[in-house]
Structure 1
Amino acid sequence: MHTSHEVSPSQEQTPATALQAPPSKLRKRFLAGALVLATTAVGAVLIAQQRVKLPGNDWIQLFNGTDLTGWTKIGAESWTVEDGLLHGKGLTKAYGYLETENDYKDFQMSLRFKCVGDGNSGVFFHTGFKPNSVDTTQGMQFEIDCKMMHHTAGVYAEDGRGWVVWPSPENEGVVRMGEWNDYLVEVVGNHYKSRLNGVQMVDFTDPKPSSFDGKIALQLHAGGEGNMQFKDLWIRDLSKR
């Protein structure tokens, strides 16, 4: 933001020779350079606005694009921030999680993900972990797996039930390997919804829910390369409505 600047009397007394306009060629170069700088500055502002623009007044940014503030690592896998992106890498091919510091009950969550490796991931919710362990004590999961017919956007229960709902077969090809995918999930009590790349994938009421509150966690599944990228993570708390 620019602030107004008044010329002081001492500045007004600057010798006239110092205030002479540059020769025409130099003037053109000066103006051209100023135009480039102004255009670049405007572009930078627009990009910055796109990065931080809230989807709505009640949406909160979960990932700041700079560091892991608000998150806790679970397990030995790598979670880093590079070029504004959240990178999850399965270095040991074991389970790894990045868990929110806050608990969430009813919410909508919006994010973008990209599958770089062959590993499996997911968005866990209503989740808890054993102390100093990657073993869960409770929770559910919205699936992320960019391989065909691996049920991305389906819901998996961590209470021993396994899969509780899959997307319809005709929607299994909506996910895109190696490209950014738009993911929107919603949890209200035992009612779960997911939308992937603009397509409704799941709208399901769980008949046997085992948890109604807990952490949100991003997962790196054991066994695969598990190279995942995330950005634009936002959450909207619906439990306060």
Structure 2
Amino acid sequence: MKFKIAYLAVLTLLSLTVQAQTGNWKNLFNGKDLSGWKAVAGKATFEVKDGVIEGTAVHGTGNTFLVTDQMYTDFILEVDLKINHISSNSGIMARGQFDPAARNGQGLVYGYQIEADPTPRAWSGGVYDEARRGWFYPLDLNPAAKSAFKMGEWNTYRIEAIGNTIKTWINGQEVAYFVDDMDAKGFIGLQVHSIQNKEDEGRKTYFRNVRIQTENLKPIPFKGDVFVVSTLKNELTDLEKKNGWKLLFDGKTNKGWVGAYKNTFPEKGWNIQDGILTIQKSDGSESNSFGDIVTTEMFSAFDLAFDFKITEGANSGVKYFVTLSEGNKGSAIGLEYQILDDVNHPDAKQGIDGNRTLASLYDLIKANKQPRFVRKPGEWNQGRIVVYPDNRVEHYINGVKVIEYVRGSKEYRDLVAISKYKVWPNFGEAKEGRILLQDHGDEVSYKNIKIKPLK
């Protein structure tokens, strides 16, 4: 009897050890065949060899996805992925969607995709909204994670999709933190990307150890100072609060803002509704109708993020290091992140070499951006301005870095000397200043205005 009890105790201990190691994992791939999966949207092929899913690229077809029959809401997913060639871009769909009637019946996969990017751009682990809204988390937002993905080696992806939050890791490295409420449920998908060159036909993307948890989920908190992208209205995550972020606009009141050169907030023109701050359209002139608004607080080094939505043909700007000391008429003086409809506003063709276009340092430095990273009028874009303590400055549009310069450098001062700002001594070199939202006579909306002081 004692032997039997001891034997049962050993079995119980072994069972508990296995459970501790495996958690609530369920294999989505049985290692033998593609049961529970189906290929959609393209003509690339998938087959199983030696316990590995091999996706083979086919020239002349669109992106192809191997998707689960089952749909998932909240989950933690782990997948091993390997790419051997620069042409083999891939990705993992998380809560993916499928429209079988799209593309003349060929079908269309869309939704959240976690990138596998073998190119020098190195955006693996970033979040891309496939066939819908485009990039939300390029790795310009987390450059430290660009080295996590290894070409020609197995890379372990971890994806947590819990509630409205998607977090990603590659080989244990924290990569992306994205908050969005568009899709609460969808399939898991493995991508073989379309290829441009016939000679790349036959190249393979490899997947193995595809496993998922859907119950008793225990998310891993991010420990690093990782930038958070959120499409929600004026909410900070616990990680952002921990890392020193604060809202400059609470979504309900004008607290923390006043009219430029005034002691109070403008009585009309600036409206707050449903968590959105909007300047009304007037006559298209600069700061003559309702006036600019500025923060009551001053900032020196900082990381500033803001969502903005323009109307067709609109012109506006977010200015920084605004001192209000010039006493000028019109818009207050400061460094300006240009907000503009490049297609429909004439100012895009003014200045020098495009230095008055969207996300540019207005009248000084052109934003080096591609049109595909910019969303159209009526859609939300995310701007970001980072000013480091050593006076390095960066501009971003939708997570892509488009400008880098140094305040007070010779190069910077040479640009000021041939700009409209040459009349202002030491333009843009103040130790600290206010943040300004411009009234340029066009309707522009803002939300998620948040800032983190840098030291």
TM-score computed with the length of structure 2 as normaliser: 0.39
d(CA) in 1 for partners of 2:189, 2:95: 9
Q: 1:171 aligns with which of 139, 142, 145?
A: 145
SS of 2:144's partner is helix
Letter in 2 for 1:156: Y
d(CA) in 1 for partners of 2:95, 2:128: 12
Q: 2:49 aligns with which of 67, 82, 102?
A: 82
Letter in 2 for 1:123: I
In structure 2, the CA distance between the partners of 1:123 and 1:54, relative to structure 1 (3 Å rule), is: farther
Letter in 1 for 2:95: H
In structure 2, the CA distance between the partners of 1:93 and 1:59, relative to structure 1 (3 Å rule), is: farther
Indicate the residue corresponding to 1:219 in structure 2. 191
d(CA) in 1 for partners of 2:83, 2:23: 30
Letter in 1 for 2:155: N
Indicate the residue corresponding to 2:29 in structure 1. 63
In structure 2, the CA distance between the partners of 1:53 and 1:217, relative to structure 1 (3 Å rule), is: farther
In structure 2, the CA distance between the partners of 1:128 and 1:160, relative to structure 1 (3 Å rule), is: closer
State the Cα deviation string for residues 33-69 of structure 1 (Å, max 9, x = none). Answer: xxxxxxxxxxxxxxxxxxx999524110011110001
Using the TM superposition, name which of 194-203 and 223-232 deviates more.
Answer: 223-232
Indicate the residue corresponding to 1:148 in structure 2. 120
Shift of residue 135 of structure 1? 1.1
Shift of residue 222 of structure 1? 1.1
Indicate the residue corresponding to 1:97 in structure 2. 65
Structure whose residues are more often helix by fraction: 1
Structure 2: gaps of 5 or more residues: 1-17, 219-455
Contact (CA 8 Å) 1:86, 1:231: kept in 2 or not? yes
In structure 2, the CA distance between the partners of 1:110 and 1:200, relative to structure 1 (3 Å rule), is: same
d(CA) in 1 for partners of 2:133, 2:182: 10
2:95 aligned with 1:126? yes
Structure with the greater relative contact order (CA < 8 A, sep ≥ 6): 1 or 2?
Answer: 1
Shift of residue 160 of structure 1? 2.8
Letter in 1 for 2:186: G
d(CA) in 2 for partners of 1:79, 1:64: 14
Shift of residue 159 of structure 1? 6.0
Contact (CA 8 Å) 2:126, 2:137: kept in 1 or not? yes
SS of 2:96's partner is strand
d(CA) in 2 for partners of 1:233, 1:146: 20
d(CA) in 2 for partners of 1:87, 1:165: 27
In structure 2, the CA distance between the partners of 1:108 and 1:240, relative to structure 1 (3 Å rule), is: closer
State the Cα deviation string for residues 188-235 of structure 1 (Å, max 9, x = none). Answer: 1220101111111112223xx321111111111112545200111100
2:179 aligned with 1:205? yes
Shift of residue 238 of structure 1? 4.4
d(CA) in 2 for partners of 1:180, 1:229: 9
Shift of residue 134 of structure 1? 3.8
2:197 aligned with 1:228? no
2:163 aligned with 1:189? yes
SS of 1:103's partner is coil
d(CA) in 2 for partners of 1:54, 1:116: 34
State the Cα deviation string for residues 155-185 of structure 1 (Å, max 9, x = none). Answer: 0113632111123112212111111111111
Instruction: Write the mapping of 1:18-33 to structure 2, written as runs, cut at 5 A.
Output: none
Aligned residues: 187
SS of 1:153's partner is coil
Letter in 1 for 2:112: M
d(CA) in 1 for partners of 2:53, 2:210: 10
Indicate the residue corresponding to 1:26 in structure 2. none
In structure 2, the CA distance between the partners of 1:153 and 1:84, relative to structure 1 (3 Å rule), is: same
Indicate the residue corresponding to 2:82 in structure 1. 114
SS of 1:170's partner is helix
Shift of residue 239 of structure 1? 8.2
SS of 1:150's partner is coil
SS of 2:70's partner is strand
- Percent of counterpart pairs with the same letter? 32
Structure 1: gaps of 5 or more residues: 1-51
